[in-house]
Amino acid sequence: MAKKFVKISILALAEEQKVRDPAIILIDKKANRILPISIGETEAKAIAEVMQKLKFDRPTPHRLMDNIIKKLGGKIERIIINKIETNTFYSIIFVKTRGSAKLIQIDARPSDAITLALQVHAPVFVDSKIMDALAQDNPFQIGAKIKFTKKEINYMAALLKIAREKEEGTDI
């Protein structure tokens, strides 16, 4: 039986409320359900930089990997989050090379693979079994929001305060 995959998009970067770890929120727009995946702070920063289209004088590790793949005649075709074992997600980067119909598969952490996919505008998929087991109904309003409730404003203010406190406590 062939595996089925769900095309997802990145809805947001967020902070997991209980342990205050960063998470990337993936969304299956067709079914309007989300899949949060915990990631590290460094990985969250890399994803945020790509999402914000920040440019740097020197290549970041993800830009370097993309450059190497291109120089070797390859192109990132797609990313698949293909399994989860003991609370760890796994993914594969699929690379197409010139002159070959066969795709090269590269094992990667989902956060790194997603960062690359965002950079090169490659589609991201999740195994449908993972989505069926772990996805939840989307509690977020989709589309532009004109007016926030007082509770939402207070929540955002609290998140901003936590981010400032973390920043102030960081030695550079």
- Model confidence at 117, pLDDT cuts 50, 70, 90, reads very high
Contact status, residue 123 vs residue 113, Cβ threshold 8 Å: no
How would residue 98 be classed by pLDDT, with cut points 50, 70 and 90? confident
Domains and CATH numbers, the chain: 5-168 (3.10.690.10)
Q: Kindly indicate the confidence band of residue 170, based on its pLDDT and cuts at 50, 70 and 90.
A: very low
**Phi, then psi, of 5 in degrees rounded to 5:** -130, 150
- pLDDT number for residue 3: 83
Q: What is the pLDDT of residues 22-73, one digit of tens each?
A: 889 999 999 999 999 989 888 988 888 888 888 888 988 889 999 999 999 9
Contacts of 63 (CB under 8 A, 6+ apart): 56, 119
